[in-house]
Structure 1
Amino acid sequence: MKQWLTLALGISFLTAGLAQAATPLLGVAMAKYDDNFQTILRNGVQKHAAVLDADIFMEDGHDSAELQMRQFRNLVNSKVDAIVVAMVNAKSAPEMLRLASAAKIPLVFVNRNPAPDKWPTQTAFVGSDELESGTLQMEELARRANYKGNVVILVGDPNNKSSLMRTEDVEKVVAKYPNMKVVQKKVGNWERSQAAAIVIDWVKAGVDFSIIAANNDEMAIGAIMGLEKAGKNAKDYWVGGIDGTPDGLKLMADGKMAVSVFQDAIGQANGAVEVALRLARGESLDSPLIWVPFKLITPENRQEFE
């Protein structure tokens, strides 16, 4: 059964206070500071830790799995009270789980789910169910396109389970409709610049498409930039992203992005801090999976998310 994060959870922490006498220290390993969504997540962790009177020591993985693993080992050796990690690469998860378990340090994964076969005690994941993200995105793109047209997909990091699941979601939705098909998909590694270059190449090669499903807003923004650099009017295409970032919402307000899916970075950040502190106090969880729901964003409701 899914455990859904609620505001009541946060309120309970504020009123109950911390059982530990000393101020708890959370080690936080972020995948990459220089990323819009990760920045919101990181700032959320910092702010909520301050609200709950917890100290944090934060590391920037610079999108390097090797560097992040060194940083993680340092956090374990420093004997922090709990660790929160937004992984660079899910392949690092087994070693992270092993090290944290051996040191008896609670470990909370945030945003990127390692999905182990079995969750060790004192470990958890706080994030959103990727089965929802690409499905919400593509169903709305299909509806707006009147269930017809060629689709291209901009894929995130191929080593990241989220990008694989979002791509599969899109493909499954497209397969439902006989007048739609996926004609191209290419890895853009979540990056705006890479997505722009890919779309320019597609246009120059004469690829026939009218719908762009990007695994995140950054690549959707890059797709729009690529269309315009290639001499196309972005408003003639149906472009969808995921994350609901401020930059994406600005382009939606301009009529250039048709769809995004809100991934609640603040909700994930707050949940990760709260769960880490619960585990640090020796509390048990009903489930190691704490889900923060995705929400569809369209031009009609975008102001709710700004």
Structure 2
Amino acid sequence: MTRFRRVFAAIGLMAAALTAVPAFAQSKGVAAFSQAEMTNEWRVMNTKEMEKAWKDAGYDFVWTNAESDPAKQLADVEDLLARKPDILIIAPIEYEALAPVPGLAKAAGVPLLVVDRNLPGEAGKDGWISVITTDFVDSGKRAAEDVVAQLQAKKGGAKGNWLHITGNVGASPVIDQGKGMEQVFAGHPDIKLLTNCDSGNSREGGRKCMEDMLQAFPSGVDVVIADNDDAALGAIAAIKSAGRNELLGWVWGKDGTVDGLNAILTGEMVQTVQTPPFFGADSVKAFEDFKAGKPVAPLVFVPKETFDAHSPEGKTRVEQRIGELKKLGVGCC
């Protein structure tokens, strides 16, 4: 073998050796997430799942907690955009207050995805790629339709008075759930709303709301609808403390938490409509399709389930769901 052949042979062996060594994975970029709050287990699960989905897909992941403050969330968004991420994802705490976000992202040249709650405008046209959320109008309808059915069974007709413990007033889920309830109750004018109260989606907020409303209405209340299970459970605690046991079993929640499901089994809560906190995989897909120039659905609804114990089958499903969540090591959704 000549000298040159030996050199080329050595180079070939070196190249083969290098290709045999696994290369270190390089990040696809940075995904920045502006979380609305971390006041309940739903939000904790949502953040963890979002981080896992983006990291599993090969991205670095950074996130901020707006602590239920729209002004702080706007500042968080500006800070995240200053880092020049490849994608910004926001779970807006309020609807109108976060309206500037698409303009901020556009000015920074950063694509935007909205999850959980909506913003004014239209996805795909007004500065963001897609909204990945739950059909909250449908969630409101499911609760209201069940209220109608239970009142008919109890009173022989759709009539009664109800209290509404909302989530964050001004947030799109609260607005949309309210629309769904109104659509159903509009056909039943003898079901009357007495008042509502903003719980901030917390158990303590639900308890305080219920205390105030029970004082304002010492009688004549038939139904309590809470916009999430934590607020419903707080309301149940206030009902027990006040000795208003006629309302136990007439409280509706939402989210499908273990505590909420257990309250259904004990007969203290009637129904909970699942609100899955899992938007990570859909958000990754939307962004990667966007980058590849593929069509992206402007609105994606994650699937959900309704839980109650109106039948033996329903009760069994509630028990199964508790087992499923515990097996996953989570208490939520």
Equivalences for residues 1-306 of structure 1 within 5 A: 22-117=27-122, 119-120=125-126, 123-146=129-152, 147-205=158-216, 206-233=218-245, 236-266=248-278, 268-279=279-290, 281-299=291-309, 300=314, 301-306=317-322
Partner SS, residue 228 of structure 1: helix
Letter in 1 for 2:255: D
Q: How far off is 1:83 after superposition?
A: 1.0
2-structure distance, mates of 1:160, 1:99: 20
2-structure distance, mates of 1:178, 1:96: 40
Partner SS, residue 39 of structure 1: helix
- Larger mean CA deviation between 152-161 and 176-185 belongs to 176-185
2-structure distance, mates of 1:220, 1:229: 14
Q: How far off is 1:261 after superposition?
A: 0.6
In structure 2, do the counterparts of structure 1 residues 285 and 38 end up closer, same or farther at CA, with 3 Å as the change threshold?
farther
Letter in 2 for 1:303: E
Letter in 1 for 2:100: E
1-structure distance, mates of 2:282, 2:182: 31
Cα shift readout 1:93-126 (whole Å, capped 9, x = no counterpart): 4321012112221111100011415634652110
TM-score (norm 2): 0.78
For the Cα contact (< 8 Å) 1:138–1:174, is it kept in 2? yes
Partner SS, residue 123 of structure 1: coil
In structure 2, do the counterparts of structure 1 residues 253 and 273 end up closer, same or farther at CA, with 3 Å as the change threshold?
farther
TM-score (norm 1): 0.85
Letter in 2 for 1:162: P
RMSD: 2.2
5+ residue gaps, structure 1, are: 1-19
Cα shift readout 1:184-208 (whole Å, capped 9, x = no counterpart): 2222222221221222233233141
Letter in 2 for 1:225: A
2-structure distance, mates of 1:186, 1:37: 21
Letter in 2 for 1:143: A
5+ residue gaps, structure 2, are: 1-24, 153-157, 323-333
Cα shift readout 1:205-261 (whole Å, capped 9, x = no counterpart): 314112111112221111111101111337644111111122212222222111111
For the Cα contact (< 8 Å) 1:149–1:180, is it kept in 2? yes
1-structure distance, mates of 2:320, 2:113: 29
In structure 2, do the counterparts of structure 1 residues 234 and 277 end up closer, same or farther at CA, with 3 Å as the change threshold?
farther
1-structure distance, mates of 2:26, 2:205: 49
| Number of positions where the alignment pairs a residue of Structure 1 with one of Structure 2 | 285
Q: How far off is 1:178 after superposition?
A: 4.9
1-structure distance, mates of 2:190, 2:99: 43
1-structure distance, mates of 2:76, 2:201: 23
In structure 2, do the counterparts of structure 1 residues 269 and 217 end up closer, same or farther at CA, with 3 Å as the change threshold?
farther
Identity level (%)? 21
In structure 2, do the counterparts of structure 1 residues 46 and 77 end up closer, same or farther at CA, with 3 Å as the change threshold?
same
For the Cα contact (< 8 Å) 2:161–2:220, is it kept in 1? yes
Partner SS, residue 185 of structure 1: strand
Letter in 2 for 1:81: D
Letter in 2 for 1:263: T
For the Cα contact (< 8 Å) 2:140–2:180, is it kept in 1? yes
Which structure's relative contact order is higher, taking Cα pairs within 8 Å and 6+ residues apart? Answer: 1
Partner SS, residue 241 of structure 1: strand
- Larger mean CA deviation between 25-34 and 42-51 belongs to 42-51
2-structure distance, mates of 1:153, 1:92: 23
- Larger mean CA deviation between 236-245 and 126-135 belongs to 236-245
In structure 2, do the counterparts of structure 1 residues 148 and 77 end up closer, same or farther at CA, with 3 Å as the change threshold?
same
